Chain A
């Protein structure tokens, strides 16, 4: 195995470790640091792939990753956390050891899923495809078990990191136009979420998602007693 391939495997392993670390991290600020670190490892591994396989277009995605995922998004997240003044997250849905165990099962599943695909892949990075799918699934798990809005969003962004890693390990990256489009979507999504967080905050005084569990099909409550009826019915009085 060449040194390049070994480096890529090393970075992939670090990526998986970081995904587990994110799963177990309770503090929002550390979570953002981990996300930035994940972005950095992703950029480094992409750079190694670009160098060893001489794929010049990959350097562009390295630059894009560095700019977006190491600097811009963490900075936006930090700003948001500061302005919204949320530092801590106390409760997850499932406790940490159980989450980790579920995570391990997911990793095994991911490697199984990746097996038929990496068998036919011809890239030097094919062995890391399993890790890429695993980190997508771990981020997914993180979104499920977290109750607060910002950790969920970080999980969402980490999932995008995993997908990006999958793209580099299976195919040396997507065509440039697609990659730019994805980056644009992520950035715009982040900005929209920023606006959105302030709306939630304004309305509920907290970013706890248990406030956002009121909507039902409302068939159980008696007519007129549902929150919706109260909300809409004041209107006729205004007229």
Chain B
């Protein structure tokens, strides 16, 4: 219980401190320290759960179960490594004159608040608070996307705000309907929105209302997941914001939004006899995979390319949750983990590559290996990992998803395979010349922090070869919970 409070309080405290000292030279160190403290608290929570099992704390307001404990650890970890990466990155950006030192205060404060909203969304047991936290996550990142104040970044931030705002309003309506159904069974009051309570009575919830509610919830949170056709904000926000923000958006926000969808799906599955929620998720997922894969071919901007790749992978995960069953759910959870690690690593590498060459246009980025072997190899290995090359964890999860799809929904397999093939061709053919080839770029004034990239990739490699037993156990019990 103390661990839960610590996980939530530390980023808030960090934000409060950084709101005052955020523009000082040592602020980026404070940011790293706050993120490290949060990560340590999350690690403490994880150890606690390994030792004592799932728990509900503080008047049932907070919940830690196998489904969210690994996401909490993952979120805190990626937030920490991103803060390590962002230290030299933002210094270089400031040196390039893309932002003033004063604006770093906004950046640091909002970064911590964003971490807080993510962790709150994961840990809360209240479906209403989950909504509040998701909306908070949009609000904290809008000004981060427009941090450079360029016309393009303002446009991206505006689009992000309006699309996600409207989307999340749909999710609020879904939540209201959920409460409406729950109130009939559980009585009025705050308890009727507690997920554990809802889960206990899910078979008694009114099916028609839950079906309508799920449509709104899927569309609402799905906007934040970046599911096609609600994905328009995603590439712009990723391409125009600072790279650390792209990394946390892709690595964390999309995961947490999908987590919200899946939590609701569990309730709907219990109330509805058919496979209504599953079919919807499979449909949205498959469309996202296919559309995103073909859009990958047309990209010229390196961060847009990987933003579309995030849409594709979120589609794969949504599809897998839609398939359901122990294997597909296991694979989806694994894919959430490895995608988050790999994609943030790629954004770190891509960010430094763009800084070194002074452009995000892939055509102008050439010969990274000669300028900086670490950045070049980081990007090459990251791209190979995200494309699902065998030793990496993405291969394992995609393989599981594909084989399950072949067995249970054979019609979907050709679409998935074709999309994966197209995505492979698109990303590989664009990354290969960026990494190798001739170059004219110069050295950077500050040494880039490439350690996070390799730590992430090493973890992804490890997950491809060996999943720690406690993690596998969590995946299995979470898969069972999701059904």
Interface residues of B in 390-422 (CB under 8 A from A): none
- Complex Cα gap A231–B152 (Å): 9
Q: Across the two chains, which residue of chain B brings its CB closest to A160?
A: B169
Whether B192 lies near A178 (C-beta < 8 A) is no
Given contacts A113-B212, A174-B128, A178-B126, contact A218 B301 (CB under 8 A): yes
Q: Across the two chains, which residue of chain B brings its CB closest to A209?
A: B158
Q: Which residues of A contact B295 (CB under 8 A)?
A: 217
Taking A160-B169, A170-B176, A175-B128 as given, write out 7 further A-B residue pairs in contact, using a Cβ cutoff of 8 Å, ordered by the A residue number: A175-B192, A182-B131, A185-B135, A188-B139, A204-B154, A217-B235, A238-B96
Interface residues of A in 67-93 (CB under 8 A from B): none
Given contacts A181-B129, A192-B142, A211-B151, contact A163 B158 (CB under 8 A): no
Whether A177 lies near B363 (C-beta < 8 A) is no
Whether A176 lies near B155 (C-beta < 8 A) is no
- Complex Cα gap A62–B158 (Å): 31
Whether B212 lies near A177 (C-beta < 8 A) is no
- Complex Cα gap A200–B235 (Å): 20
Whether A223 lies near B361 (C-beta < 8 A) is yes
- Complex Cα gap A219–B300 (Å): 7
Binds B, one of A11-19, A30-38, A99-107, A116-124: A116-124
Interface, chain B (partner A; CB < 8 A): 96-98, 126, 128-129, 131-132, 135-136, 139, 142-143, 146, 149-152, 154-159, 161-162, 165-166, 169, 172-173, 175-177, 179-180, 183-184, 188-190, 192-193, 206, 208-209, 212, 235-236, 240, 295, 298-301, 304, 354, 357-361, 363-364, 441-442
Contact of B363 among A120, A133, A159, A223 (CB under 8 A): A223
Q: Across the two chains, which residue of chain A brings its CB closest to B359?
A: A232
Q: Which residues of B contact A113 (CB under 8 A)?
A: 212
Q: Which residues of A contact B139 (CB under 8 A)?
A: 185, 188-189, 192
- Complex Cα gap A174–B154 (Å): 34
- Complex Cα gap A84–B139 (Å): 22
Q: How far is the CB of B224 from chain A (nearest CB, A)?
A: 14
Cβ-based interface call for A214 (8 A): yes
Whether B166 lies near A178 (C-beta < 8 A) is no
Q: Which residues of B contact A219 (CB under 8 A)?
A: 298-300
Q: How far is the CB of B118 from chain A (nearest CB, A)?
A: 15
Q: How far is the CB of A125 from chain B (nearest CB, A)?
A: 12
Given contacts A117-B209, A213-B155, contact A178 B128 (CB under 8 A): yes
Q: Which residues of B contact A140 (CB under 8 A)?
A: 166
Whether B300 lies near A182 (C-beta < 8 A) is no
Q: How far is the CB of A127 from chain B (nearest CB, A)?
A: 15
Complex A-B, nearest 7 residue pairs according to Cβ-Cβ distance, in ascending order: A178-B128, A181-B132, A219-B298, A175-B190, A235-B358, A212-B155, A236-B358
Q: Which residues of A contact B159 (CB under 8 A)?
A: 212, 215
Q: How far is the CB of A52 from chain B (nearest CB, A)?
A: 16
Q: Which residues of A contact B363 (CB under 8 A)?
A: 223-224
Q: Across the two chains, which residue of chain A brings its CB closest to B356?
A: A236
Q: Which residues of B contact A224 (CB under 8 A)?
A: 361, 363-364
Cβ-based interface call for A98 (8 A): no
- Complex Cα gap A78–B158 (Å): 21
Whether A223 lies near B180 (C-beta < 8 A) is no
Q: How far is the CB of A14 from chain B (nearest CB, A)?
A: 22
Whether B360 lies near A232 (C-beta < 8 A) is yes
- Complex Cα gap A196–B143 (Å): 7
Whether A235 lies near B298 (C-beta < 8 A) is no
Whether B151 lies near A239 (C-beta < 8 A) is no
Contact of B155 among A121, A163, A214, A235 (CB under 8 A): A214
Q: Across the two chains, which residue of chain A brings its CB closest to B236?
A: A215
16 contacts between A and B (CB under 8 A): A152-B162, A163-B169, A174-B193, A178-B126, A181-B131, A182-B135, A189-B135, A189-B161, A199-B149, A200-B158, A203-B151, A214-B155, A217-B298, A224-B361, A229-B361, A236-B442
Q: Which residues of A contact B156 (CB under 8 A)?
A: 215
Contact of B132 among A163, A185, A238 (CB under 8 A): A185
- Complex Cα gap A139–B315 (Å): 30
Cβ-based interface call for A228 (8 A): yes
- Complex Cα gap A16–B4 (Å): 45
Given contacts A200-B154, A238-B97, contact A166 B176 (CB under 8 A): yes
Cβ-based interface call for A150 (8 A): no
Q: How far is the CB of A7 from chain B (nearest CB, A)?
A: 22
Q: Which residues of B contact A133 (CB under 8 A)?
A: 173
Q: Which residues of A contact B131 (CB under 8 A)?
A: 178, 181-182
- Complex Cα gap A156–B135 (Å): 13
Cβ-based interface call for A66 (8 A): no
Whether A227 lies near B158 (C-beta < 8 A) is no
Q: Across the two chains, which residue of chain A brings its CB closest to B183?
A: A171
Q: How far is the CB of B234 from chain A (nearest CB, A)?
A: 12
